[in-house]
Copies of this chain bind each other. A is one copy, B any other.
Amino acid sequence: MATAEDEKQMSSLSLEEKEKKKEEKKAAKEAEKAAKAAKQAELAAQRGQKQAVMTQPEEGDPVKDKYGDAPMVQSSQEVSRPYTDIGQIDASWAGKEVLCRARVHNVRGKGKGCFLVLRHRTATIQVLLFVNETTVTKGMVKYASQLPRESIVDVEGVVTVPESPIASCSQSEVEVHGHGIKAISRAAVLPFEITDAAHSEAEIKAAAEKGELLVTVGQDLRLNNRFLDLRTPANQAIFKIQSGVCQLFKDCLLKQGFQEIHTPKIIAGSSEGGSAVFKVDYMGTEACLAQSPQLYKQMAICADFDRVFEVGPVFRAENSWTHRHLCEFMGLDFEMAIHQHYFEVLDVVENLFETVFHGLAEQFAKDMAVVAEQYPFEKAVFKRLRLTFAEAIQILQENGYPDIDPLDDLSTEMERNLGKLIKQKYDTDFYIIHRYPLGVRPFYTMPCADDPRLSNSYDVFIRGEEIISGAQRIHSAELLEERAKACGIPIPSVQAYIDSFKYGAPPHGGVGVGLERVVMLYLGLDNIRKTSLFPRDPKRIMP
């Protein structure tokens, strides 16, 4: 069904077009860069072919069992000694023998020794391999020195506390003195370096000021090789936080008596009433992908499920080219029976976001710091604040929009400015606007009892951008039919929907949340593609 969101989009087309052009310029620049990078990679590959790379230990080496490429892991033996995650090692491990599996983040041979930086997820640690009389030979050092970056290795060694901290590693207080190294999986020449993909704007600027040009990796090149791009520490952290938001969301709702449901994504007909649907051929019948679980979660309420939530994909075939629209995204939806008032829904919404904001701050502080290293952001402030649409209009009228229409929707630009004004006045990045004009909401929205021009609806914002749209829904089949007619919707197209309220329907309301938007806005990121694992936009369907 058409949402308030849809309509908002229509009204901000010119802004979108601007964004689109910006994106296109960026894309062109990136394509150029990518071509350069590919050329470099090819040259590097040619250089690599010239040198025979060492993959096996030297004949007769007394420690030949301790280095060289391992046979392919094929389940021919079980693990006989435990592996240690490099992220767990701290100074208390000093003197302990460890076996670690991690990637070669960096490697530098230097005479009789070799410095390796191993990386696993957001952690890096230094490994030293230096020739000695018993455990490390020249052969081992040579082998290690030639390992390609991003290869996966098993390293054996002893944890040591260096005299001065190792600034270049996240594990700065410890290092490993290695005496064994085996490649588990070798990496080919990379389309871009993970270190280059991990630079912050500040680093690039600081280097530029010193006359140094850091390699940057554009959005298209990243997304074309998303499984590499995702290896950067910031991306590792972003998706740990995304998983965290899901768990906090679910746990908080379960505690408030909700139950998880799964509704079908292939639905009959060519549309739910809106136009931006993806069409599917269903065994020869015309079908489409659900733009929201709206009808189904409402049917669950009509089936007495009381309080339901769903975490599932939502599909919008919109040709939107903005920093905050995707063609497929994760919807966190809930719907609940109410006794009297939609404030019962808003109570749940506020509990939910209080839990999410506080839970993230408590459980994911480390990951947030990792994100901030590459993408600095101000911590988001949570307060409970509900303003009516009329109050929001008044704030805007008093601050640069004197002629704003109190029965029209807000543009994206107005919403952003409102966010800034609310932050100044109330010191919160989170707030709810309710009692929107009836005319800007979907036909199934319950009108206000005291003013038929307004509706029992609400939007929820973080940093001036909408993350939630919702309302009390009409539970009376008669009123629903009346409103559909008033909105010019052909009744046959919504008859089944209307009929489901004929057999005793509880008053109810709910919300739809965009997961990627919540994560983007909470972390103050500039593009929703950063918080989607494999983003889908009008031009991108790969990988």
On whether A534 and B263 interact (CB within 8 A), knowing A339-B101, A341-B77, the answer reads yes
Chain B residues in 8 Å Cβ range of A524 = none
Q: A171-179, A184-192, A204-212, A388-396: which lies at the B interface?
A: A184-192
Does chain B have a CB within 8 A of A342? yes
Contact across chains for A75 and B306 when beta carbons are under 8 A apart? no
Contact across chains for A279 and B280 when beta carbons are under 8 A apart? yes
Quote the shortest CB–CB distance from A230 to chain B (angstroms): 4
Instruction: List A residues at the B interface (Cβ < 8 Å).
Output: 72-79, 83, 101, 103, 120-121, 150-152, 184-188, 190, 226-231, 235-236, 239-240, 242-243, 246-247, 250, 254, 259-268, 278-283, 285, 287, 289, 295-296, 299-300, 302-306, 311-313, 315, 317, 319, 327-328, 330, 338-344, 446-450, 456, 472, 475-476, 479, 496, 500-507, 515, 533-534, 536, 538-539, 541-543
On whether A259 and B287 interact (CB within 8 A), knowing A79-B339, A304-B121, A313-B265, the answer reads no
Distance A296 CA – B260 CA, assembled complex (angstroms): 24
Contact across chains for A185 and B475 when beta carbons are under 8 A apart? yes
Distance A254 CA – B306 CA, assembled complex (angstroms): 27
Distance A72 CA – B184 CA, assembled complex (angstroms): 67
Contact across chains for A231 and B304 when beta carbons are under 8 A apart? yes
Contact across chains for A341 and B261 when beta carbons are under 8 A apart? no
Most buried by B among A184, A339, A343, A504: A504
Contact across chains for A74 and B447 when beta carbons are under 8 A apart? yes
Contact across chains for B315 and A313 when beta carbons are under 8 A apart? no
Chain B residues in 8 Å Cβ range of A280 = 278-280, 289
Distance A133 CA – B100 CA, assembled complex (angstroms): 83
Residue of B nearest to A227 (CB): B299
Contact across chains for A504 and B261 when beta carbons are under 8 A apart? no
Contact across chains for B246 and A260 when beta carbons are under 8 A apart? yes
Contact across chains for A279 and B281 when beta carbons are under 8 A apart? yes
Q: Which 4 A-B pairs have the closest CB atoms?
A: A230-B303, A73-B507, A76-B449, A187-B504
Quote the shortest CB–CB distance from A183 to chain B (angstroms): 9
Chain B residues in 8 Å Cβ range of A472 = 74-75
Q: A188-B502, A243-B259 are in contact. List 17 more A-B contacts (CB 8 A).
A: A73-B339, A74-B448, A74-B472, A75-B340, A76-B340, A77-B340, A78-B340, A121-B306, A150-B503, A242-B262, A243-B260, A250-B250, A264-B328, A264-B533, A283-B319, A287-B541, A312-B312
Copies of this subunit: 2
Distance A328 CA – B268 CA, assembled complex (angstroms): 13
Contact across chains for A303 and B227 when beta carbons are under 8 A apart? yes
Chain B residues in 8 Å Cβ range of A338 = 73, 75
Quote the shortest CB–CB distance from A326 to chain B (angstroms): 10
Residue of B nearest to A296 (CB): B534
CB < 8 Å neighbour of A266 from B235, B328, B505: B328
The contact sample of 25 A-B pairs, CB cut-off 8 A, is A74-B456, A75-B342, A76-B450, A77-B340, A103-B304, A150-B504, A184-B506, A188-B502, A190-B503, A230-B305, A239-B305, A247-B250, A247-B254, A262-B313, A265-B313, A266-B278, A266-B541, A278-B280, A280-B289, A283-B327, A296-B534, A299-B534, A299-B543, A312-B312, A313-B313
Chain B residues in 8 Å Cβ range of A327 = 266, 282-283
Contact across chains for A228 and B283 when beta carbons are under 8 A apart? no
Contact across chains for B250 and A339 when beta carbons are under 8 A apart? no
Contact across chains for B120 and A507 when beta carbons are under 8 A apart? no
Chain B residues in 8 Å Cβ range of A289 = 266, 280
Chain B residues in 8 Å Cβ range of A300 = 227, 230, 533
Contact across chains for B341 and A303 when beta carbons are under 8 A apart? no
Contact across chains for A75 and B496 when beta carbons are under 8 A apart? no
Contact across chains for B75 and A456 when beta carbons are under 8 A apart? yes
Residue of B nearest to A152 (CB): B504
Distance A151 CA – B501 CA, assembled complex (angstroms): 11
On whether A299 and B268 interact (CB within 8 A), knowing A260-B246, A340-B73, A456-B75, the answer reads no
On whether A185 and B121 interact (CB within 8 A), knowing A230-B303, A259-B240, A315-B266, the answer reads no
Residue of B nearest to A326 (CB): B264
Residue of B nearest to A536 (CB): B264
Chain B residues in 8 Å Cβ range of A543 = 268, 295, 299, 496, 500
Distance A282 CA – B537 CA, assembled complex (angstroms): 10
Distance A513 CA – B72 CA, assembled complex (angstroms): 28
Chain B residues in 8 Å Cβ range of A278 = 266, 280-282
Residue of B nearest to A104 (CB): B504
